[in-house]
Amino acid sequence: MDFAEKKNRLRVLLGASRVFQRKGYAKTRMEDLVEESKIGKKTLYEYYSNKEEVLKAAAEYRQTRASYRLKRIRNNQALDFSKRFVRMRKELLDVCKPSHFALWKELQDQIPEIWRLVKAKRVQLIDTEIESLLEEGKKLGEFRADLRPDLFIMALIACSDAIYKWEQNPTERRDNISELDNIFLYGIIRRGKETLKSS
- The residue range of the domain holding 87 is 56-188
User: 22 in a domain, yes or no?
Assistant: no
CATH code, 126: 1.10.357.10
Query: Which tens digit of pLDDT belongs to each residue from 13-64?
Result: 999 999 998 999 999 999 999 999 999 999 999 999 999 999 999 989 988 9
User: 28 in a domain, yes or no?
Assistant: no
Torsion of CA 48, 94, 88, 15, to 10 degrees: 20
Name residues whose C-beta falls within 8 Å of residue 138's C-beta, 6 or more positions apart in sequence: 144, 145, 147
Q: Given this model, what pLDDT does residue 4 score?
A: 84
- Which has more confidence, 175 or 7? 7
User: 124 in a domain, yes or no?
Assistant: yes
Q: For 75, phi and psi rounded to 5 degrees?
A: -90, 0
Question: Where does residue 166 rank: exposed (0-12), middle (13-18), buried (19+ CB within 10 A)?
Answer: exposed
Query: Which tens digit of pLDDT belongs to each residue from 156-177?
Result: 766 666 665 555 565 665 666 6
Q: Please give the tally of structural domains in the chain.
A: 1
Alpha-carbon distance 57 to 62, whole Å?
Answer: 9
Query: Which tens digit of pLDDT belongs to each residue from 69-118?
Result: 999 999 999 999 888 988 887 787 665 566 677 788 888 888 888 889 88
Q: With contact defined as beta carbons under 8 Å apart, do 195 and 185 qualify?
A: yes
Query: Which tens digit of pLDDT belongs to each residue from 144-159?
Result: 788 788 877 777 766 6
Burial 100-122 (b: 16+ CB within 10 A, else e): bbebbebbeeebeebbebbbebb
Q: Given this model, what pLDDT does residue 48 score?
A: 94
User: 120 in a domain, yes or no?
Assistant: yes
Alpha-carbon distance 178 to 196, whole Å?
Answer: 10
User: 51 in a domain, yes or no?
Assistant: no
User: 128 in a domain, yes or no?
Assistant: yes
First to last CA, the chain: 43
Q: With contact defined as beta carbons under 8 Å apart, do 61 and 13 qualify?
A: yes
User: 20 in a domain, yes or no?
Assistant: no
pTM exceeding 0.85: no
User: 16 in a domain, yes or no?
Assistant: no
Alpha-carbon distance 72 to 94, whole Å?
Answer: 16
